[in-house]
Amino acid sequence: MRRLTKLTSVLAASALMFGLTTTSALANTEIKGSGASFAKGFMDECISQYNATSPAIKVAAYGSIGSGSGRSQLIGKTVNFAMSDGYWSSSDLAKINVADYVFAPFAGAPLTIPFNVAGVTSLNLTAKNVTDIFSGRVTKWNDPTIKANNKNAKLPDASIVVVYRSDSSGTTQIFTQYLRDHDPLAREVGVFNTLFQPAGSIGSPQNQGVMTSVKNTPNAIGYVDFADASTSGKPMAKLQNGAKQFIAPSLQAASRFLSAQPVPGSKGYVYPRYKTSNVKGAYQLSGYTYYIMPKAPVAGVIEFANYVLNTCGPTRAAAVKYTALDGKMKKFALEQVAKAKRP
């Protein structure tokens, strides 16, 4: 009887251990990521392509919640990776050791300035025009400083309605970097700061929300990723670059600007030279979106990153309105990913 009892106990313990082992093995059959809405189109495409290869560990649908929220979820360990268009915020840095994370560029794209002005399909803006409009110093569409570079446009005597991101946003960080380089009052932040919220302006969450508000609001103007702006049916402003050319947003023009930027330092983040770059044909309001993962990630996170950089980016980025990394930037990104330790 004692032998039977002992045998039963051993079998029960073995079953429990097998159950725990099985549960552990199955626990990481899917990884999750969230963050930048700027990256949504690219991530949706790459996740779909990656999962179609039948990997051992699949990637869940991407959570487009904004760069700041994505970084917060990564810090809180509710996702396995995050996408961000901006670097860690000061509040992020207070909670983490940067050395515990890998920060790598993933893809590039133009940041557009769509507008909704009846009868106006083409708009040339200088950097000063942009900072004046988004600071509220210029409030009318027919202001002489706007008309100076748009002599053939019928600009109305109507108030400009600025639409900005209301959430913590890497898109805003790119935009405010551009503003800061041309205006001392602008600050590089992940939220649209109060110095740059003109009277009557509208705050909307995520790039998709900003684009919807611009479409639905007469005389509105905003800042939106290229993928969402391209499908909106609304025109996008041409921006004057350092070579004094007015250039429309395009993948080719963005690539010309981004390829002239320096490779990141140890942080993994590029600080574009929005004011000093003078590359002909370049669209200067362009930036990168970044992949952030723990230096000791769960299984699947490194594999997915390498797939995006080596396969999805080169073959699918352009189709969904992004520029793939190549040359020195791709080499740098792969080196960043290689810093992570496989589980």
Q: Is the pLDDT of residue 202 over 50?
A: yes
> Domains in the chain, start-ordered, CATH in brackets?
31-108+287-337 (3.40.190.10), 111-257 (3.40.190.10)
Mean pLDDT of 123-151: 95
**What are the φ/ψ torsions at residue 220 (nearest 5 degrees)?**
-90, 160
Q: Cα(285)–Cα(282) distance, rounded to whole angstroms?
A: 9
- Note the pLDDT of residue 15: 40
- Note the pLDDT of residue 139: 95
- Note the pLDDT of residue 49: 98
- Note the pLDDT of residue 22: 33
Q: Is the pLDDT of residue 152 over 50?
A: yes
The residue ranking higher by pLDDT, 165 or 7, is 165
- Note the pLDDT of residue 191: 54
Bridge partners of residue 291, in order along the sequence: 83, 104
Cβ 139 vs Cβ 159: under 8 Å: yes
- 170: confidence class by pLDDT, cuts 50, 70, 90: confident
- Note the pLDDT of residue 36: 93
- Note the pLDDT of residue 265: 84
Q: Is the pLDDT of residue 17 over 90?
A: no
- Note the pLDDT of residue 194: 44
- pLDDT above 70 covers a percentage of the chain that reads 89
- 188: confidence class by pLDDT, cuts 50, 70, 90: low
Mean pLDDT of 69-98: 94
- Note the pLDDT of residue 89: 87
Average pLDDT in the chain: 88
The residue ranking higher by pLDDT, 288 or 17, is 288
Q: Cα(238)–Cα(246) distance, rounded to whole angstroms?
A: 5
Q: Is the pLDDT of residue 299 over 90?
A: yes
- Note the pLDDT of residue 196: 57
- Note the pLDDT of residue 10: 40
Mean pLDDT of 211-224: 97
- Note the pLDDT of residue 101: 97
- Note the pLDDT of residue 61: 97
Q: Cα(129)–Cα(55) distance, rounded to whole angstroms?
A: 49
Q: Is the pLDDT of residue 197 over 80?
A: no
Mean pLDDT of 209-217: 97
- 13: confidence class by pLDDT, cuts 50, 70, 90: very low
